[in-house]
Structure 1
Amino acid sequence: MKPFLRLPFCLIPVLVGISLSASAQTVVSGRVTDQRGRALPGANVFLRGTYDGATTDTTGAFRFATTRQDTATLLVTYVGYESFVRPIKLQPESTPITIKLTELANELNTVVITAGAFEASDEKKMTMLKPMDIVTTAGAAADITAAMNLLPGAQRVGEQEGVFVRGGSNLETKVVIDGMIVQNPFFSSLPDVQSRGRFQPFMFKGTSFSTGGYSAQYGQALSSVLLLNTVDRNINNGLGISLNLANTGLSYDHSTVNSSISATGYYGNLKPLFALVRQNIDWTREPEFAGSSLTYRLKPSKTGMLKFYGMYSDSWLGMNFRDPGSATTGNETGLINLRQHNRNFFTTSTYTDSWAEGRWLLNTGFSYSYDTDATTYDTQDFGRSSERAQVRAVITRLLGGNSSILFGAEAHTLTLKNAVDGIAYQLRDNYGAAFVESQFYVSRNLAFQPGIRAEYSSVIGQFNLAPRLSLAYKTGVFSQVSLAYGQFYQTPDYRYLYRNTALNFERADHLILNYQIIRNKRTFRAEAFYKNYAALVREFTGAPYDVNPYRFPWGRTDNSGHGYAQGFDLFWRDQKTVKGLDYWVTYSYVDTKRLFQQYAVLATPTFVSNHNVSLITKRFFEKISTNISLTYTFTSGRPYYNPNRPADSEREFLSDRTPAVNNVSFSASHILRTKGNLIVLYASVDNLLNSRNIFTYRYAADQNGNPNRVRYAVGPQTYRSFFVGGLIMLSKKAKVDVNQL
């Protein structure tokens, strides 16, 4: 009981002090308003270094007493406004103070530069797609890039991997993880098969998908960048087991206050799945694969964050495919056997920190990747490999009013090897870039973001300077318009550089106008764009056009190609009208023509369709813990090469069109707990209506000697497919955020 007996005696000096000083108090009073004179109730007013202060009332008035004498520093803070700091004189009869606060530029009440970009993260208010969106969207198959293809501006090409954006090829889009370019973001390319991306959605806390006009921080992409930012820590602890028709996996997560580690291992064999789902491909060895990954995160200080990610995968497969460039004499099917063994290793490490109360930010990274394909076509060796090492550093200075300026540089060393018909090719490129970019808020309604990027490539010995500029103006409380312009350069396809290193950078100029309104969980975007292509690589063979997309360029090349792309996109998402229902609709139109590659005349490329439509619906039924998703996509016909038409006529070349592609996909997932463990069961059906979709047509030589070639269709790997599986988290802490379903 002694501590309680002693407590009143401890308080006596304080009470005495208050009593003795009452006659020496000074009263500080006044009123706090905004710049228009409107009262700001609830503002905090106090003297620095003391507990003396008050909160403004409904009229913005405040009044409090202090024992401080002579001078003091008055501070006033209010959410959404810049802090007020002023030295004042303390006198027995002081005059009331009138304080006007300036509204602070922030993401809650200011314009956000968005032209050409779809953001999805916890840090942005203009959320479009979260990781949970990706895994619960029918037709995306839990693949990040497949989900991006359901956004406006993206082009769905069923027989090739990659992201095709606004008339651009898959080589014109780069995938970036924590600022580092990923050399091989997709599993190995196969003839007429769309490969998946290598990375899982829940690795990332957010995505930013640019359809053009992107930041000066990034380069080497004529059309688009897909920015992926990894999570800072895992939310689950314990062991996880996954099992489905394609693979089985084991994962382990452990976290402490300042660190976390995640490890995974998996093995897959598609033979059981292919036995149930009929294939349109003649597999001589069904794909078999194994791999592992490790993620480690550490907070060495209050503001610092170190992240490391590494992965390794091994895969084997064999297939017979039809090569449109080969004669079929003596072989009625014209099939050629392909065998492939792929090994891929990727690691990236980043460190971020801040100092001076967050006014200075540091972001550094290192990445290394190695990928090799031991590939044979019949008896010919077409093996290839790539190796990339890169470093990057960015320093950002935050200025007043949410404005900022950043400086950065990066360096890459890239080595590529390719064997073709017994000839070994090798290339090494040392690529460097430096960039400066700033973002200024002239007012909370007007912002602009100028930037410039300088690049150098040793393999071609060329330098470029690329200016970028974005503007945004807030037209209402919930709406804004944005304008973006920029020049973008890219080193030519390395297949051309194996034989000609005298080529220059390819270039595209972007102009984008955007209108956006976000209100009450509803989003509407309309965006118009124009792209001008210059210095594209052309190949002159003196031979008929070769439609085989896997051919190795052997003709003379130069940078005389050019072209354009223009069109508009529409996006509507509604998460409010019907309780529990989330749906979005997209429409994209593109008109584009190019003179590049083997083209003899200006023409629309074979990977472009003029019209793309997506309708995605999702609903989570809380009572039964089940999420249902339905997706419909429409893609208009694409050009294809008909060798029976003249290839040097702009009216005839690539004038034929494939039928439109329609697809309906369905997916469902169910969440339950048993004995404290979390279980997620899922099922999906792709091409629910079993449509006989055709992606393109090719022509093969007629073995009977007819001058006209015989047309055959290239379609999906399978017409209608289904997939089922489950995940078990052996941890009572494991959870799924149903608010994101």
Structure 2
Amino acid sequence: MKFLLLIGTTLLMTMPAFGQTTLKGRVTDAKGRALPGANVFIKGTYDGANTDSTGSFRFRTSRNDTATLVVSFIGYESFTKKLALSANQPDVAVRLQEAASELNTVVITAGAFEASDERKMTMLKPMDIVTTAGAQADITATMNLLPGAQRVGEQEGMFVRGGSNLESKVVIDGMIVQNPYFSSLPDVQSRGRFQPFMFKGTSFSTGGYSAQYGQALSSVLLLNTNDKNTNNGLSIGLNLISANVGIDHETKNSTISGSLYYGNLKPLFALIRQNIDWVRDPEFAGSSLTYRLRPTKNGLLKVYGMYSASRLAMNFRDPSVETGPAGPGKTAIDQTNRNAFLTSTYTDSWDEGRWLLNTGLSYSRNHDRMTFNGLDFGRFDSRTQGRLVLTRLLARNNSLLFGAEVHHVTLKNGVMGTTYQLSDTYAATFVESELYLSRKLAGRIGVRGEYSSLLKAFNLAPRLSFAYKTGTFSQISLAAGQFYQTPDYRYLYLNQGLAYERADHLILNYQLIRNQRTFRIETFYKNYAALVREFTGQPFDTNPYRFPWGRTDNTGNGYARGFDLFWRDQKTVKGLDYWVTYSYVDTRRLFSQYSMATTPAFVSNHNASLVTKRYFNKLRTNMGLTYTFTSGRPYYNPNRQNERPDNYFSDRTPAVHNLSYSASYITAVKGNFLVLYATVDNILNTRNVFTYRYTPDNKTRYAVGPQSYRSFFIGGVMMLSKKAKVDLNQL
């Protein structure tokens, strides 16, 4: 009996061995080197083993017919393979690919400065913007301290690598912003409308940008709004020109933020002498509302709306005016602005994150009720746009993106009692693929097609970028492509037979990032074609508000070439963060009312800046010092042209120097976060000149300079919330 029991037990113990398959093989990296300790198993079972010192494995499984083999190892991408099982199972050879990381993966950087949570190449975050001296917490003003940007003091906007401010666009969550700046005034540099802490990420492209974006010959500034609130409660702010109040409220699946503000520049102008004859000091008010909702696990709906209103009056120096309400040589300007912007986006993903959806819808409306010496020069514009982008994530970080967008733009412009108006429906479709050919070599290839109902024309713009990793911390990048833009709408009021303007970009970049230090050098060449020319038969008109009335065509052309240098060091001196930039550009263009190819009046050949910031922990104070240098710009001297035609725009203004200081003190009042700040612009009180203009008789020249020479600003913000905080590491 005992013998039979022993036999039965033995049979029971050995029965599972029948029908089992032995799996064996070896796991190596991409170069064939053994990976000991890799985890090898059959999906959905406990059958498996770890590799030995030679990378080999061997185990048995009770699965029949087919099974899915899974191999994983820290630092490498997981491997899966479906096997057809048999009694004489062949050895399995597995080669694992190294997982992507900041040190081993190339990133395409040509023409772009990234700052976001997702990208390796971090340059400027919101805290950088608000703590940079000389930028006045203005996003676009801070971008002008990066290489490739041109500092032009008497006009708003971004001037990039020889391009005008009309050649740069601001994009929020993929949607073009029709009016990113407060309404322009003659010889006054307007601020941007948006606050830095609205955004989690910034990408400033100086050329060669993605096929996802268009209508910009030179540059795009991409801003991505925050996905969640950083605080929860009430905040109040007070400074020399405005007061504001904001509130954040958060629930389980949604957040809502709102703000109200009112401002009047009269107190500031009483303290700081102005170089502008203000008749009515600027007064403004506005509000904003942000709503975020997570309807599903991966879905996110964001809605942002803002409204602002302002009123001002000034006497603008205009020597062509003999008589008028403001007196000889002056034009009286009265302006009331109403601006509204509403945008909503929805993002989602499915199939374990392999498919990504990004959609958007926005509407903007801007109305300037404006008179020049009592005559109507009012402006109105609106833009409605929709956008849809689908991205398919593929193996090894590869991806395929395709999408489309539609815009409808309406514009009106009053000119001395006559109203001009037009509308345009602009549509675009694009496809783009990111290819990681290896950990050292990556590429982005795309194409964009655009159609304008106003121009009745279609264009096709190819774009490509490649990057190669030259070392653990360094890489080179190359970008090239074609970029189209609808001509300035002021030309289209009178001639709707014009064609797209075009720019061809070629950019080569080298970058080294190591131990919180960044070195970057980039060289570029930009070819302009089909630029709009205006033929007036009259001398060059320097009036910044002139309305083009001459015959126009697309025979203009030009080029821009040069290089940029960037060095940032956040490591050498504890607590000290500084960066140095230098840009050189050589450009000549035949366009607008220029009668021959020349360097445009808004271009300076040399731009340099030194930005320093240091946080003093014991004092809880951040201090910053910024020095900028801009070489002289060409200006129109009618007497020179009368001497010799080739002296056209041959004179140069003096170089512009500016030294600015900022400080912010961080503390708490009864547990509530408080920031006090102060800035001083142009500490040395340098009498900078941006350009010169002449009286009609060509005998008298006068300088156009800043709104004020040396100025200062003070204020504070208090967060009435125990949850409010700031990351001191960013200071």
TM-score range, shorter chain: over 0.9
1:4 is matched with which residue? none
- Equivalence map 1:536-555=2 (5 Å): 536-555=531-550
Q: What displacement does 1:377 show?
A: 1.0
In the alignment, is residue 314 of structure 1 matched against residue 309 of structure 2? yes
Q: What displacement does 1:405 show?
A: 1.2
Q: Distance in 1 between matches of 2:447 and 2:438?
A: 23
Change in 2 beyond 3 A, CA 1:331/1:91 = closer
1:348 is matched with which residue? 343
Q: What displacement does 1:730 show?
A: 0.7
Query: What is the root-mean-square deviation of aligned Cα atoms in Å?
Result: 2.4
2:177 is matched with which residue? 182
Pick the aligned partner of 2:687 from 680, 684, 692: 692
Q: Is the 8 A contact 2:324 2:373 kept in 1?
A: no
2:6 is matched with which residue? none
Pick the aligned partner of 1:229 from 207, 218, 224: 224
Q: Is the 8 A contact 1:106 1:402 kept in 2?
A: no
Larger deviation, residues 249-258 vs 237-246: 249-258
Change in 2 beyond 3 A, CA 1:464/1:46 = same
In the alignment, is residue 371 of structure 1 matched against residue 355 of structure 2? no
Q: Distance in 2 between matches of 1:722 and 1:472?
A: 44
Amino acid at match of 2:541: D
Q: Distance in 1 between matches of 2:325 and 2:258?
A: 52
2:420 is matched with which residue? 425
In the alignment, is residue 710 of structure 1 matched against residue 675 of structure 2? no
In the alignment, is residue 722 of structure 1 matched against residue 722 of structure 2? no
Q: What displacement does 1:82 show?
A: 2.8
2:722 is matched with which residue? 732
Gap regions ≥5 residues in structure 1:
1-16, 702-706
Amino acid at match of 1:111: V
Change in 2 beyond 3 A, CA 1:22/1:355 = farther
Q: What displacement does 1:99 show?
A: 3.2
Q: Is the 8 A contact 2:322 2:329 kept in 1?
A: yes
- Equivalence map 1:417-456=2 (5 Å): 417-456=412-451
Q: Distance in 1 between matches of 2:239 and 2:501?
A: 44
Q: What displacement does 1:83 show?
A: 1.7
Pick the aligned partner of 2:97 from 86, 90, 102: 102
Change in 2 beyond 3 A, CA 1:258/1:265 = same
2:249 is matched with which residue? 254
Normalised to the residue count of structure 1, the TM-score between the two structures is: 0.93
Equivalent pairs counted in the alignment come to 719
Q: Distance in 2 between matches of 1:477 and 1:525?
A: 15
Identity across matched positions, percent: 71
Q: Is the 8 A contact 2:313 2:332 kept in 1?
A: yes
Larger deviation, residues 671-680 vs 143-152: 671-680
Q: Is the 8 A contact 1:601 1:650 kept in 2?
A: no
2:3 is matched with which residue? none
Q: Distance in 1 between matches of 2:576 and 2:50?
A: 42
Amino acid at match of 1:187: F
**Deviation string, structure 1 residues 378-420 (Cα, Å, up to 9, x no partner):** 1111111101000011111111111111111111110000110
Larger deviation, residues 114-123 vs 89-98: 89-98
- Equivalence map 1:599-614=2 (5 Å): 599-614=594-609
Q: Is the 8 A contact 1:572 1:586 kept in 2?
A: yes
> Tell me, what secondary structure is at the counterpart of 2:646?
coil
Amino acid at match of 1:100: R
- Equivalence map 1:438-477=2 (5 Å): 438-477=433-472
Change in 2 beyond 3 A, CA 1:505/1:94 = closer
**Deviation string, structure 1 residues 233-258 (Cα, Å, up to 9, x no partner):** 11210000011111110000012232
Q: What displacement does 1:46 show?
A: 2.9
Q: Distance in 2 between matches of 1:622 and 1:31?
A: 54
Amino acid at match of 2:660: S
Q: Distance in 1 between matches of 2:621 and 2:108?
A: 37
**Deviation string, structure 1 residues 626-648 (Cα, Å, up to 9, x no partner):** 11111110000000111212279
Q: Is the 8 A contact 2:321 2:330 kept in 1?
A: no
In the alignment, is residue 121 of structure 1 matched against residue 116 of structure 2? yes
**Deviation string, structure 1 residues 319-364 (Cα, Å, up to 9, x no partner):** 1110244347998762221111000000100011111111111111
- Equivalence map 1:234-245=2 (5 Å): 234-245=229-240
2:5 is matched with which residue? none
- Equivalence map 1:536-685=2 (5 Å): 536-646=531-641, 651-685=646-680
Q: Distance in 2 between matches of 1:161 and 1:271?
A: 22
Pick the aligned partner of 1:512 from 507, 510, 516: 507
1:194 is matched with which residue? 189
Larger deviation, residues 89-98 vs 665-674: 89-98
Pick the aligned partner of 1:482 from 477, 482, 489: 477
1:12 is matched with which residue? none
**Deviation string, structure 1 residues 689-741 (Cα, Å, up to 9, x no partner):** 1111111111123xxxxx43310111111111111111111111111111111
Amino acid at match of 2:597: L
Q: Distance in 2 between matches of 1:218 and 1:42?
A: 46
> Tell me, what secondary structure is at the counterpart of 1:646?
helix
**Deviation string, structure 1 residues 301-325 (Cα, Å, up to 9, x no partner):** 1111111000000001111110244
Change in 2 beyond 3 A, CA 1:671/1:60 = farther
Q: Distance in 2 between matches of 1:627 and 1:23?
A: 75
Q: What displacement does 1:674 show?
A: 2.1
In the alignment, is residue 142 of structure 1 matched against residue 137 of structure 2? yes
> Tell me, what secondary structure is at the counterpart of 2:269?
helix
Q: Is the 8 A contact 1:137 1:618 kept in 2?
A: yes
Q: What displacement does 1:80 show?
A: 4.1
**Deviation string, structure 1 residues 490-528 (Cα, Å, up to 9, x no partner):** 111001111111111111111111111111111111111
> Tell me, what secondary structure is at the counterpart of 1:134?
helix
Q: Is the 8 A contact 1:325 1:547 kept in 2?
A: no
In the alignment, is residue 208 of structure 1 matched against residue 203 of structure 2? yes
Q: Distance in 1 between matches of 2:604 and 2:528?
A: 18
Q: Distance in 2 between matches of 1:389 and 1:157?
A: 30
Q: What displacement does 1:91 show?
A: 9.8
Q: Is the 8 A contact 2:154 2:690 kept in 1?
A: yes
Q: Distance in 2 between matches of 1:712 and 1:215?
A: 43
Q: Is the 8 A contact 1:327 1:334 kept in 2?
A: yes
2:383 is matched with which residue? 388
> Tell me, what secondary structure is at the counterpart of 2:618?
helix
Q: Is the 8 A contact 1:325 1:548 kept in 2?
A: no
Q: What displacement does 1:574 show?
A: 1.0
Change in 2 beyond 3 A, CA 1:348/1:630 = same
**Deviation string, structure 1 residues 131-183 (Cα, Å, up to 9, x no partner):** 11111111111100001000000000000000000000000000000110000
Q: Distance in 2 between matches of 1:591 and 1:531?
A: 10
> Tell me, what secondary structure is at the counterpart of 1:651?
helix
Q: Is the 8 A contact 1:626 1:671 kept in 2?
A: yes
Q: What displacement does 1:199 show?
A: 0.4
Q: What displacement does 1:86 show?
A: 3.2
Q: Is the 8 A contact 1:326 1:700 kept in 2?
A: no
Q: What displacement does 1:471 show?
A: 1.5
